[in-house]
Amino acid sequence: MTDDYSALSAVYDALNGDLDYEGWADYLDREIRAHADIPVKLVLDLCCGTGTMTLALDRRGYDMTGVDRSPEMLSIAREKAAAAGRGDAILFLCQDMLSFELYGTVQAVVSTLDSVNHVDGKADFMQMLSLVHNYLEPGGLFLFDVNAPYKFREIYGTNAYVLEDEGVLCAWQNLYDPQTRLCEFFTSIFTEDADGRYTRRDDYERETCFTPAEIRRMLQKSGFAVISTHGDLDGSAPARDTERLYFTAKRL
């Protein structure tokens, strides 16, 4: 993994402002209640970013821990938690998904917004699964999503995008290699300063494309049972043009 979101952290929420976090949290809550074999109270938000989903699940009664490798992201997450009066209730840890350590086990792990795509290949994915399995209690759930192969091929590809929000402009160039199935993202972020001038920061990230079959095999090899694979938050099945896949897996 090479990206740390240091440049994106300041504009991350603005660029994801159209996401229905509450609806997503409701989906996760439904999956947990429907499929966990054990009561779920302690939940890890792996790659929690700026903590929006962490706080949404906190509001649904879960005791949350957030892990992310970006100090800048976690600083924003802690500010959000403090503003919500939950600064002392939620533990945020600055750690990598490939080497994180917890103080004990949890009953569920969630990882949203294609965070698990940010590993370099199957070996890293298996390493991440090993750690999740280690800290999950038997009968607990791992709920995560990935960008689907269709999105890498047709939406990312070699396309360029410009995203604008109040005082923020983000220019985004994709480079997807169908042979290696690595997608590189070259991003330039322009934020307006108080004097009307703009500050530019550049960011580099990359993601690995995995097929649903590959993910299921890696889950099974890592001691998980695959419970469901959905193509949307309404629980519908994936289609040919599905852009995001939602997995629920149970720790055996």
CATH number for the domain harbouring residue 75 = 3.40.50.150
Interhelix angle 122-135/212-221, rounded to 10 degrees, is: 50
**Same domain? 115 vs 169:** no
Q: With respect to residue 138, please indicate whether it lies within any of the assigned structural domains.
A: yes
Please answer whether residues 140 and 251 qualify as being in contact, where contact means their C-beta atoms are separated by less than 8 angstroms.
yes
103-107, 169-173, 232-236, range with the lowest pLDDT? 169-173
Q: Within this chain, do residues 130 and 92 fall inside the same structural domain, yes or no?
A: yes
Please answer whether residues 2 and 182 qualify as being in contact, where contact means their C-beta atoms are separated by less than 8 angstroms. no
More confident residue, 236 or 196: 236
168 and 100 fall within a common domain: no
Res 1: pLDDT: 41
Which residue range is the domain that position 247 belongs to?
8-147+210-251
Q: What is the pLDDT of residue 240?
A: 97
Residue that terminates a domain, selected from 207, 222, 242: 207
> Are 138 and 227 found together in one domain?
yes
| pLDDT at 149 exceeding the cut of 70 | yes
**How much is the pLDDT for 2?**
42
- Pair 14, 47 in one domain: yes
Mean pLDDT of the region 34-59: 98
Residue 6 has pLDDT above 80, yes or no: no
134 and 221 belong to one structural domain? yes
Position 107 pLDDT exceeds 50: yes
Chain segment 169-214, per-residue pLDDT in tens? 889 999 999 999 999 999 999 988 999 899 999 999 999 999 999 9
191 membership: H or E segment, kind and range: strand 182-192
Asked whether the predicted pLDDT for residue 88 surpasses 50, the reply is yes
Residue 3 falls inside a structural domain: no
Per the structure, how many domains does the chain have?
Answer: 2
Same domain, 18 and 74: yes
Report yes or no on 233 lying in a domain: yes
Report the pLDDT value the prediction gives residue 40, as an integer from 0 to 100.
99
pLDDT range class, residue 58, cuts 50, 70, 90:
very high
**Would you say residue 5 has pLDDT above 70?**
no
Residue 2 lies in a domain: no
82 lies in some domain? yes
Note whether 143 and 58 are same-domain residues: yes
Asked whether residue 73 falls in the same domain as residue 161, the answer is no
CATH at 177: 2.20.25.110
Q: How confident is the prediction for the chain on average, in pLDDT? A: 95
How sure is the predictor about 4, in pLDDT bands with cuts at 50, 70 and 90? low
Helix (H, G, I), strand (E, B) or coil at 131: helix
Pairing between β-strand 42-46 and β-strand 63-68 as defined by DSSP bridges? parallel
53 falls within a domain: yes
64 & 122 share domain: yes
Cα separation, 26 vs 31, whole angstroms:
9
pLDDT at 159 over 70: yes
Report H helices in the chain.
12-15, 21-35, 52-58, 71-83, 122-135, 149-150, 212-221
Task: Give me the pLDDT at residue 8, please.
Answer: 74
pLDDT of residue 70: 94
Is 135 a domain residue? yes
**Are residue 134 and residue 90 in the same domain, yes or no?**
yes
Residue 64 token pair: 């949350």
- Rounded distance between C-alpha atoms, residue 146 and residue 150, angstroms: 11
Is 111 a residue whose pLDDT tops 90?
A: yes
Query: Is residue 248 within a helix (H) or strand (E), and if so which, with residue range?
Result: strand 244-251
pLDDT reported for residue 44: 99
Q: Average pLDDT in the 63-79 region?
A: 97
Same domain, 30 and 123: yes
Could you tell me if residue 1 is inside a domain?
no
The pLDDT tens digits for 17-29 are 789 999 999 999 9
pTM: 0.95
